[in-house]
A and B are shown apart, each in its own frame.
Chain A
Amino acid sequence: MNVLSKRSLRRLAPVLVLVAGLVMGGCYQDYGLSVQDYDAYLTGYAPGTNFQAFKYFVMPDTIMHINPGTSLTDPLASARKYDKQILSLTASNLLARGFTRLTDTTQIGPGRPYDPNTVLVALIGQFSTDHSGYYYDYWYGYWGGYYPGWGYPGYYPPAYVNTYTYTTGSNVTELVQYGKSNADKRAAPVWVGIATGLMGTPSTAQSRLATGINRTFEQSPYLYAGQ
């Protein structure tokens, strides 16, 4: 008690609070997020685009799966069952924004009923990305050291290194001006909407995809057809 007198303890209290606080400062509050909370929606448009110059859209009835890897197996094959819903929902959003869908592309062109400068092409693609990494679980190591059998070596990695792997899936919608391409002869979109989220939870995939597609349009108030 002589070593830790009441007076000393009183003086040490702020230091203890400081240390505890700094340790806490290294942590970030966990809100207990669900799988759908990891969904994100990104939109972008080409600067200077006058979306009201467009009145029509055409849309292929196929969703492209982009697989940049060397594997011949399509990692998104199981998502094909949502294609119909995605195509329908995307078209519905464009119709709700005042665009008229054209199905006969022979009617589009100079001297034809529909000016190509007023037509957008809606392209939809999907891809998946694998993520992996590791992190040190310092708190677990700290408390774990107090239990029999763990011992103090437990403080040091790699005993408390955790690894993680997860896969995200992305649904990409591009709006391209009909007949236009960039210098590389590639489609140059005037608008892109991306919905991305964790894969592996089929029970919620359908509703999350629908939410994601709708959100990309909702956060693009400038995207509507001219009269």
Chain B
Amino acid sequence: MVKILKTLVLAALLTATAMGQNQMSGITWNMGFPTGRMADFMDKTSFSGFGIDFNRFVGDNTSVGVSFSWNYWSELNSDIINLNNGAVSGTQVRYYNSFAMLLNARYYLSEKNSDFRPYAGINAGTYYITQRLDIGVYSFQNDHWHFGLAPEAGFLMEVSRGTYLNANFRYNYAVKSGTTYSGQDNTLAYWGINVGLDWATGWF
């Protein structure tokens, strides 16, 4: 894990010290839609999240960079939770926090100086995901680091000189890491819609 973090920090620094015109820095508002096993626990959309991206162009149509993002879900319900030989119920508050630290590569479909640049990309890195269930006076928390992949598709649209609207779909897939409290597979996945602004500028 330390090695992965060092790699991410190094990648960020390399991006930060590169020439401004070849870089894009941006922030996004991130929404998250759980799917699969994650949706069994949290059937709710997250509107609380953000992302920070740094990208450096290594060709007219290709960029590499890093992406940091956070999504937060919480839900109040009183569902019955079926156990192997029984059940538990009561007012519950369920939470997920997902912190993603990813390296990415993107391919842009249009010309370099185009106002509208659709792109497709792949992200790979780590997810730190916390899962918590509060029921009664008890709280159960299950935190894990996951290796993850996140293919994405989106576009950049120039809204003023050097400033772009950035929007993308991203499928976040955090592979199995540890188990749930009931000993089940801990693979987690969620769709992300991320909207924000990018600037064609370096980092300091």
B132 touches A40 (CB 8 A): no
The reply to whether A25 and B97 contact each other, CB–CB distance below 8 Å, is yes
Q: What distance in Å separates the Cβ of A104 from its nearest Cβ neighbour in chain B? A: 32
Interface residues of A in 116-158 (CB under 8 A from B): 131
Q: Does B2 sit at the interface, judged by CB under 8 A?
A: no
Any A CB within 8 A of the CB of B86: yes
Known contacts A17-B27, A28-B74, A28-B132: A219-B137 contact under CB 8 Å: no
Complex contact A25–B99 (CB within 8 A): yes
Interface residues of A in 1-35 (CB under 8 A from B): 7-8, 10-11, 13-15, 17-18, 21-22, 24-25, 28-29, 31, 33
A166 within 8 A of B: yes
Chain B 42-55, CB-CB to A under 8 Å as 1, else 0, gives: 00000011101000
Name the distance in Å between B17's Cβ and chain A's nearest Cβ: 13
Q: A25-B70, A29-B74 are in contact. Are A44 and B85 (CB under 8 A)?
A: yes
Q: Are A41 and B89 in contact (CB under 8 A)?
A: yes
Q: Is the interface of B mostly helix, strand, loop or mixed?
A: strand
State the majority secondary structure of interface residues on A: mixed
CB atoms of B199 and A10 under 8 A apart: yes
Question: Using Cβ atoms and an 8 Å threshold, which residues of chain B touch A10?
Answer: 199, 201
The answer to whether B137 and A17 touch across the interface, beta carbons within 8 angstroms, is no
Inter-subunit contact B203/A198 (CB<8 Å): no
On whether the beta carbons of A39 and B203 are closer than 8 Å, the reply is no
Cβ 8 A contact of B95, one of A28, A45, A198? A28
Q: How far is the CA of A219 from the CA of B89 in the complex (A)?
A: 8
A43 within 8 A of B: yes
Query: Which of A14, A28, A43 touches B25 (beta carbons < 8 Å)?
Result: A14
- Count of B residues near A, CB < 8 Å? 35
Per-residue A-contact encoding for B134-161, CB less than 8 Å = 1, 0 else: 1111100000000000000000000000
Contact with A along B95-132 (1 / 0, CB 8 A): 10101000000000000000000000000000000001
Residue A85 CB within 8 A of the other chain: no
| Bound CA span A45–B86, Å | 6
Contact of B87 among A28, A31, A198, A220 (CB under 8 A): A220
A33 CA to B91 CA, complexed, in Å: 9
User: Smallest CB–CB gap between B167 and chain A, Å?
Assistant: 17
A18 touching B74 in the complex, CB below 8 Å, given contacts A37-B91, A39-B91, A42-B86:
no
Per the bound structure, the CA–CA distance linking A125 and B50 in Å amounts to 50
Q: Is A65 an interface residue (CB 8 A)?
A: no
Binary contact readout A44-65 vs B (1 if CB under 8 angstroms, 0 otherwise): 1111000000000000000000
Across the interface, which residues of B come within 8 angstroms of A41, CB to CB? 88-90
Q: Measured between alpha carbons, how far is A36 from B25 in the docked complex, in Å?
A: 48
Closest approach, in angstroms, between the C-beta of B15 and any C-beta of chain A? Answer: 13
- In the complex the two chains form, what is the Cα distance from A47 to B89 in whole Å? 20
A173 at the interface (CB under 8 A from B): no
CA distance A36 to B49 in the complex (A): 31
Nearest first, the 7 closest Cβ-Cβ pairs linking A and B are: A40-B136, A44-B86, A40-B90, A37-B91, A219-B87, A29-B74, A14-B52
Pairs A–B under 8 Å by Cβ, sample size 13: A11-B203, A11-B204, A14-B27, A17-B52, A18-B68, A21-B50, A21-B70, A24-B48, A25-B70, A25-B97, A44-B86, A196-B137, A215-B89
